[in-house]
Amino acid sequence: MDRPGQPNRPVAVYVISVAAELAGVHPQTLRIYERKGLVLPARTDGGSRRYSDADIAHLRRIQELTDDGLNLAGVKRVLELEAEVASLQSKLMQIQVDARAAIAEVERQNRRELVPVQKTVTVYQNPRRRSRK
């Protein structure tokens, strides 16, 4: 039940009463969460809310935070920060992958440009220098 403009959205299958039961809250609480912008359930063509497994996990996280004493504004901020951290971690991992690839490429180029050196050692003796006896 993906909505246009929202590709890769998880399949939303639970009606509000089932989602509320799975999340351990009252259906009215889910409506409040939606009004506050904490959750955005999919909608059917008739306008009924449908919740996905990801939405249920998100609702459980909200419940954990409120159980810890946060108000809904605090919960919203924590969720925003957690999303930002996840995004930054993803970007960092991509930068690390790119850096490793760049280092490997430089090492490959350096191996091609290196000139082989003979492995024999030649001792240099200065002909002007005389040994003293």
Domains of the chain in start order, with CATH, are 12-112 (1.10.1660.10)
- Ordered mean pLDDT values, 10 residues apiece, the chain (133 residues): 52 90 94 94 91 94 95 96 97 97 91 70 72 58
Q: What are the pLDDT digits (tens) for 49-77?
A: 999 999 999 999 999 999 999 999 999 99
Q: How far apart are CA 52 and CA 9, in angstroms?
A: 9
Instruction: Measure Cα distances from 15 to 21, 49, 86 in Å.
Output: 10, 6, 29
- Give the pLDDT of residue 8: 60
8 A C-beta contact, residue 73 and residue 82: no
